Amino acid sequence: MRLLFLGDVVGRPGRSVVSRLLPGLRSAWQLDCVVVNGENAAHGFGITESIYENLLAAGADVVTLGNHTFDQREALVFIERQPRLLRPVNFPAGTPGRGATIIEAKNGARVLVVNVMGRLFMDALDDPFAAMARTIGECPLREGCDAILVDMHAEATSEKQALAHFLDGRVSVVVGTHTHVPTADVRLLPGGTAYQSDAGMCGDYQSVLGMQPDESIRRFVEKTPGSRLEVATGEGTLSGLAVEIDDATGLAVKVAAVRLGPHLAEARPAFWEEAAA
Ligand SMILES: [Fe+2]
Ligand SMILES: [Fe+2]
């Protein structure tokens, strides 16, 4: 099974590069399942229902979120009627929406997708480790589903790596989001879980995390109230993780970074490019 994950889509540059490239990648790489983090898709803050639907139309099967889940207040309502839109599973009990879902991939496999948020340098939420143990306990790999992807939305690489090792061999992929910067630690863990501390963002990298630098610089230099952060307007780069999963075990066998766009060194999964050539 071939799975592609794309990191935080930031504003229009992010949405544009996803809608421009993802349909072609879905067919060229014969993808079975695509998961996209959309927490910054609406002007950098949250997601609207029409943006969510456009991400699905571009080829996403599931859209995950994070700390910006409800920045667009309409998400409080439409998240309830969109089963493929996930907010962190460890948000407090009673929060609208869901943190996990099972979808049928193109190859017929049942894929459990989970969005979970870290607590280091972030909001105080329920324990992400306990939440993950409970979630995969209810739907274990090879029993309840054929593959499991976990989007770990967190600031600290230590917390992300600890969660990944905690889940190693029990899920197919743990991929980090939230920092908007892709890390160079793409690898298979000993138990067969594919891992990357952060997938990076889909957005304009000539920026501060996808936003125009001026206001960001000002906030570091001055301690006075300023203006709103505005999304950078240059061309977006697509950034994410490509994972090939063994159909029998549900564990990862190949993993590679994906970076396509003007500002970062290009990265493509050679194992799919060669098969397509
Ligand atoms: Fe983000
Ligand atoms: Fe975030």
Taking only the tens place, the pLDDT of each residue in 170-227 is 999 999 999 999 999 999 999 999 999 999 999 999 999 999 999 999 999 998 888 9
Q: What is the mean pLDDT of the chain?
A: 97
- pTM exceeding 0.75: yes
In the structure, what pLDDT confidence band is assigned to residue 277 with cuts at 50, 70 and 90?
Answer: confident
CA-wise closest residue to 59 among 12, 25, 13: 25
User: What is the mean predicted confidence (pLDDT) over 249-275?
Assistant: 96
pLDDT at position 223 is 86
CA 72 – ligand 1 centroid, Å: 14
Q: Which ligand is nearest to the CA of 239?
A: 1
| CA distance readout (Å), 130 to 23, 111, 248, 250 | 36, 21, 27, 22
Among 251, 256, 259, CA closest to 270? 256
CA of 35 to the centre of ligand 2 (A): 16
User: How many helices (H) and strands (E) would you count in the chain?
Assistant: 7, 12
What ligand is nearest to the CA atom of residue 200? 1
User: pLDDT confidence of 124, banded at 50, 70, 90?
Assistant: very high
Catalytic machinery residues? 68
Q: What gap in Å lies between CA 38 and CA 143, rounded to an integer?
A: 29
State yes or no: pLDDT of 276 exceeds 80.
Answer: no
Q: Kindly tell me if the per-residue pLDDT of 116 is higher than 90.
A: yes
- Ligand 2 centroid–CA 39 distance in Å is 7
User: In whole angstroms, how far apart are CA 269 and each of 227, 274, 275?
Assistant: 40, 9, 10
Lowest mean pLDDT among 35-44, 221-230, 260-269: 221-230
Beta strands 33-37 and 187-188 are: unpaired
User: Is 76's pLDDT higher than 90?
Assistant: yes
Which ligand has the nearest atom to the CA of 44? 1
